[in-house]
Structure 1
Amino acid sequence: MEIAQDTVARLADGWRLDDVRLVGRGLEFTVYRARDVEGRAVVLRLAPRRFDSNANDPDVDTRALLVQEYEITRHLAGLGLPVAEPLHLHLADRPDVPDVLVARYVDDDGSPLDNGDLGRLLARLHGLPAPRLAPVATEARGCAEVIQARLERRWREVGRLVPDWPAPPDRAVLAGHLAGLTGRGLVHLDVRSANLRRRRGRVQALLDWSNALVADPVVEFARLTEYARYAENELDVEALRAGYATVREAPPQDATAMLACRLDTAVMLALVFLSEAPDPERGPPAAAHARELAERLTGRPGGPA
């Protein structure tokens, strides 16, 4: 389902916006750039559907995600962290009108990412007080419970798509690896080039907080490690860790929970490439990599499901 152009035009007229241009379309949101009555460049983040579903997340409330984006970015902007500052959140009262978040547009010069600078930014983020909200992804549970539950559910979804998929990692073993995680500060969990606006390599805004959790930095670094396997994400984990360490101590690479959290990301990416954005070149290797991480986690080859 796409947003009708006449709907976008009506919204633009009502808010006195001009030069409205489509700049991005994802699973849940469509993004437009426009100029407001004061001449400022702004972005409109629109939800074509109130509720959505995909292989990784079967029950997506897009309104809840927009509210979360507004609250988190307002909180972080007030603390001086570079984000797309929110200007207005419009929650529609009719089903034919989409919910919309309007934020300041942050320009990007296309320069290569400075991973040391990104590391320093993430260290700042992890040291800030978290906003007073329960992130959508928590589903009112603790960090370790969230990761275990979604990993087990997503593992089963991969099994629907991959022949001879093994049984999931033993629940007690997985819980043991995750037991040391604590909810300390905000983690972004979708840090990659597409969500970073930069100038001369330095990050000007960290975008898209849909995946955020209040969690241990180990969870962030595990995801960065898996994202770094794909060149388009422009991530150099060693350079990133070095930058991070100039601000605060980075979590150890051999932290007990690191492997389990990497598996959480690997299974998610396998579903992306097998189902959400099917890629025959990446899907099977991504599933094989997730299987290999699970075998390392349990210390034994996986048997058939």
Structure 2
Amino acid sequence: MILTNNTIEKLSMSILNVLNKRLDWQIEEISFIDNGVVNAVFLINEKNLGKLAVRTPWRSEENMMDKDSSGIISLKKEATISEHCHKYQIPVPKIHKLYLSNEINFLVSDFVSGDNQEISSYDIGELTSKIHTVPLDGLSIVDQNERTLSNIVSHRIAERVKSLSKLMNINIVVPSQEEFETILDTSQTKNSLLHLDVRQPNLIGENGKIKAIIDWDNAIIGNPIMELMRISESEELNEGEFLKGYKEVDIIKNTDAVIQSIYRLDTALMLSILFTFFINDSEKRDYYVKRVHFLTQEIRKYL
């Protein structure tokens, strides 16, 4: 399904109707900014609040009052986590309104402008460390459903192995879900809020300084080693500079290598599928498929 100009027009009119007529806001203008797989983003100018961003699911099947749809979950997660982080001075756009109905669902937040200047991996490491030290204070992630990260990752690896094996017509043999979960549960590292998609496109900056971190769709509560291994495995940041900014690297030294490898495997599987099915990049696909085989062998050495 493609986001058409007709859909953009319908969404903007629905947003204006709700804000002006139902919520008594005074919207002076609205314009389309961008869209992802699930959400479209609009810029509005409210008379009293100024420039705001409106995020709404653009696929018709997502913009319904189905609590289990990824569109609704995405909005709820962004609202809940941003409001929580805002209390602890994590740079996130301030949330103004989460609106859910049978007609349209959207989230209104501050509009944070930025430029295209790259943010240093050191500064991103510092921010990630701050996120990992935010008090949880009863924070609940809507799609985690009180499951542990160990349970989620072990189940996800099994599913991703099946998917990649089918896509590539290859045989990947990994330990059982129960074995993975048991190993991951041995970690004594304290749980943290994890963003799990820390990279340049999800950071808004100006003159190289971070103004906001956005897109909490992958966020979860669990072992911060998961985040560090994902950043390392995805290779989108300078890992050395990132860790200098993160500073608390002792948690890596104090974590068993097999646990690190399992979290790396989860990421390598995800990227293998991404570059096989969603993004046609044979070079990256082949690299991460090799990583899957290597990490599988490494894990088996410890069993």
Partners of 1:51 and 1:168 lie apart in 2 by: 35
Q: State the match for 2:16 in structure 1.
A: 12
Deviating beyond 6 angstroms after TM superposition, the runs of 4 or more aligned structure 1 residues are none
C-alpha separation between the residues in 2 aligned to 1:261 and 1:50?
35
Name the structure 2 match of 1:237.
Answer: 239
- Alignment partner for residue 81 of structure 1, among 70, 84, 90? 90
Are positions 1:179 and 2:185 aligned together? yes
The 3 A distance-change label for structure 1 pair 33 and 168 is farther
Partner residue of 1:37?
47
1:96-245 alignment runs, 5 A limit: 97-130=103-136, 132-171=138-177, 173-181=179-187, 182=189, 184-228=191-235, 233=236, 235-245=237-247
1:71 is the counterpart of 2:80: yes
Q: Deviations over 1:171-226 (max 9, x none)?
A: 45533541234552201001011100112222111101111111121011011112
Amino acid at match of 2:300: T
RMSD between aligned alpha carbons? 2.4
SS state at 1:164 partner: coil
Residue 255 in structure 1 maps to residue 259 in structure 2 = no
Distance 1:45 1:119 in 2: 27
Structure 1, gaps ≥5 residues long: 53-58, 301-305
User: Which secondary structure state, in structure 2, belongs to the residue aligned with residue 81 of structure 1?
Assistant: coil
How far apart, CA to CA, are the structure 1 residues paired with 2:108 and 2:45? 11
The CA deviation string for residues 56-102 of structure 1, in whole angstroms up to 9 with x for no partner, is xxx7532122112101101111211101111111102x2xx331011
Partner Cα separation in structure 1 for residue 56 and residue 231 of structure 2: 27
Gap change, CA 1:133 and 1:162, over 3 Å in 2: same
The Cα shift of 1:277 comes to 3.3
Q: Structure 1 length normalisation: TM-score?
A: 0.84
Instruction: Classify 1:35/1:253 alpha carbon distance in 2 versus 1 (closer, same or farther; 3 Å).
Output: farther
Q: In percent, how many aligned pairs have the same letter? A: 23
Q: Tell me the distance in 1 between the aligned counterparts of 2:44 and 2:29.
A: 5
Aligned pairs, number: 284
- Paired position in structure 1 for 2:268: 266
- Which consecutive residues of structure 2, in runs of 5 or more, have no partner in the other structure? 20-25, 63-67
Higher relative contact order (CA 8 A, sep 6+): 1
- Give secondary structure in 1 for the equivalent of 2:73: helix
Task: Report if aligned partners of 1:114, 1:201 keep a CA contact under 8 Å in 2.
Answer: yes
Report the CA distance between 1:279 and its aligned residue.
3.2
| Secondary structure of residue in 1 paired with 2:211 | strand
The letter for the 1-side match of 2:104 is P
Which SS does the other structure have where 1:34 is aligned? strand
The one-letter code of the counterpart of 1:252 is I
Alpha-carbon distance in 2 for matches of 1:18, 1:151: 48
Instruction: Give 1:22 deviation, angstroms.
Output: 2.9
Q: CA deviation at 1:284?
A: 3.3
TM-score, normalisation: structure 2? 0.84
